[in-house]
Amino acid sequence: MNVPEFSQTAAGAMTMFYRGRRYYQQRVLRNKTTWRCIFVRTCSGTAVSFTNGRARAVNPHSCQAAIQNIEHSLVIIKPESVRLQFSGRIIAAFEAAGLRKVATKMVRATRRQILAHYPRANDQLVRYMVSGPINCVVFRGVDAIRTIRRMLGANLPSPPAGTIRHDYRNEVVIGRRADTVCHASDSQDEAERETSIWFIDEEIVD
């Protein structure tokens, strides 16, 4: 098995990546990089652990700590961000953070879909969300929900610099609130509910 090339991060930082059925964990300490890859064969329940390039068999249950943090999250890139052609850069930012895109589609939402997604939406939000195409994307990865919401930044009139809502902000105002650029699931339960509105199971490629 080929060892992936990792770029170094801050000293002491630890990052986990998910690719296919492979879980890679990286640690950088005193400018020295070590890594660990866990490969899970779900069909047979066996697992192999790779540490510094050497393989050894492990109990599949020892992989549970890595597996249990793998989440799905739905991101909706809103009409104005799509119109301004920000979709590609926003998606690339999430992928650069180690998340994997497992489903995507560009759609013109119906009023019924928006009300299913936002049960308490007011007329202004509904009109905005059906005013043009939106880009729906499902991401998968370790702590995907928390990672995406941290990268988006708080839903505030002035989002923190360096967040997606700051860097890709626009002039749209919905009621008295600025457009939030993207929607992102805030829990695993919500991610499952929201994803079912926009995708069927066959469209999600894990």
Query: Residues with catalytic annotation?
Result: 183
The helix-helix angle for 87-96 and 144-152 (nearest 10°) equals: 130
Distance CA 61, CA 16 (A): 18
Q: Which tokens belong to 119? A: 């049960």
CA atoms of 202 and 137, how far apart (whole Å): 14
Q: What angle do CA 135, 141, 144 make, to 5 degrees?
A: 70
Cβ atoms of residues 35 and 25 within 8 Å = yes
| Number of CB atoms found within 10 A of residue 98's CB | 19
Token pair 């799905």 is found at 72
Write the single-letter amino acid at 103: A
Cα separation of the two ends of the chain = 21
Q: How distant is the alpha carbon of residue 116 from its chain centre? A: 21
